[in-house]
Structure 1
Amino acid sequence: MASSWLDFWNGSHRIYVNARHAQVHYAKIAADFIALIPSADAIVVHWGCGEALQALTVAAHCRCLVLCDAASAIRGRLTERFAASTEPDAAKIAVCSPEDLRTRYVGGIDLFVVNSVLQYLSLAELDQLLADVRALLAPGGSLVVADVIPRHDDLVSDVRNLLATAWAKGFFIAALFGLAATFFSRYRTLRNTVGLARHDEAEFLSGLRAAGFTAARLQPNMGFDQRRMAFRATLR
């Protein structure tokens, strides 16, 4: 049984209700990610990348795409997948841990994206992440933190958003069964015990500025859930 969010992501899970759900999710994230890339010569990081099903699509729009995830099981699958790929853009993709990232790309990152990850981080882990980003960003580089859960958000809102997306994208019945399965899943257990971090907009902006960034709310949010928040920050 997973006792932490990292344990959860390192194990087997069904966070997506079916393959169609995963495909739709990653395609939307890739499109939003590409819109943020400043140039075809940029070195970009996707921190907390997960399975990165559309990484080749993103890599086509930059010089190097660094996929960084704390879960060793995810890194192993990514490394194996891209090592076996014959796609030309696979050579642009690097896979690394947060620890390796701190030493490999100091002062060289043009865009650092953290999407739908903050809810799984403690305040100490968030502080460490911001310290890492300060050291990693190139002059003029930017940090984008997206899909941040507002303090007032709740599970009912998440369910409504999933069902609305499922209805629009053609996996509504699978979503209903997926929600039923989630009720008995490790995800729900961890959500009830460990919890998800939520943030107030003004407090989060203040925290970014205190950490040495110039920051502002970014709209739209990455992904389908526009109740959640996104922020862009640059080194001050």
Structure 2
Amino acid sequence: MVASWREFWDRDTPIYVNARHKARHYAGLARDIAALVPHPDAAILDHGSGEALSADQVASACGRLLLCESSPRQRDALRQRFAGIPTITILAPEEVAELPAASLDLVVANSLAQYLTASELDACLRDWRRALRPGGRLILADVIPPHLGAVADAAALLAFARRDGFLLAALLGLARTVVSDYRSLRQRLGLTRHGEAEMLARLTAAGFAAERMPRNLGHNQGRMAFVARVGGDV
């Protein structure tokens, strides 16, 4: 039996219903992150990058891209995938705490907060705050609000699938998820949820000036994204 989210993400998962779903997900996410890059020489951290299939698109928009992933299996795959791109570096989560102070221009943490406890998230906020330069930004995205359930997530997936041409696979994939480890783990461990006001207060307490973004990264607009800046206005 899978004992933790970290263990779950270190193996093949049923999250993506087929190769097209996975490719379209990562392509859209890379496009969204590349649009946030402040300047061509920027140093960017994508914390909780997953497979990052289109990270080369982000790397082409910035000076240095750090991909942080907790799964050793995924880190090995990332190193192989991007071995030919010297501006991409792969990190384990514990290495983020060792980054030089004020060395990053942008941190993106997408679909990460729901898998962290409150104390784990606060520790990440401290590490990100220290590593960001004055004026640097944190994008904390795909945050699940308290009222959003699995039905809403399924509806968002089906809308995405209809738009991008994998609707039948999505329907079959949702059926498989019902009997998968993901569903049982979600019921057993749960996903951490955050209200808008609570997340803004948490970001402020960590030393950021923060606000909710008008749009989430990726396809699920039922979830929230926040922009938090080090020093000054957001």
Q: TM-score range by the shorter chain?
A: over 0.9
Give the aligned partner of residue 27 of structure 1: 27
8 Å Cα contact 2:42-2:106 kept in structure 1: yes
Matched letter for residue 211 of structure 1? A
Is residue 183 of structure 2 the alignment partner of residue 188 of structure 1? Answer: yes
Matched with 1:97 is 92
1:135 alignment partner, SS class? helix
Aligned-partner residue type, residue 3 of structure 2: S
Q: Which runs of 5+ in 2 are unaligned?
A: none
Could you say what secondary structure the match of 1:233 adopts? strand
Q: What displacement does 1:218 show?
A: 1.0
CA deviations over 1:1-59 (Å, ceiling 9, x no partner): 21110000012212100000011111110111011100001000000000000010110
Q: Please state how far the C-alpha of 1:105 moved relative to its aligned partner.
A: 3.5
CA contact (8 A) 2:115 2:191 kept: yes
Per the alignment, in what secondary structure is the counterpart of residue 77 of structure 1? helix
Q: How many residues align?
A: 231
| Runs of at least 5 residues in structure 1 that lack an aligned partner in the other structure | none
The one-letter code of the counterpart of 2:99 is R
Residue 55 of structure 1 corresponds to 55
Q: Does 1:112 align with 2:130?
A: no
Q: Deviations over 1:65-107 (max 9, x none)?
A: 0000111111111112222x3xxxx111000112112213431
For 1:222, the equivalent position in structure 2 comes to 217
Are positions 1:179 and 2:180 aligned together?
no
> What is aligned with 1:10?
10
TM-score (norm 1): 0.95
Higher helix share: 1
User: What TM-score comes out, normalization by structure 2 length?
Assistant: 0.96
Give the counterpart of 1:133 among 128, 132, 137.
128
RMSD: 0.9
1:126-167 deviation line (CA, Å, top 9, x unaligned)? 011001011100121110101111110001101111111111
The runs of at least 4 consecutive aligned structure 1 residues that moved more than 3 Å come to none
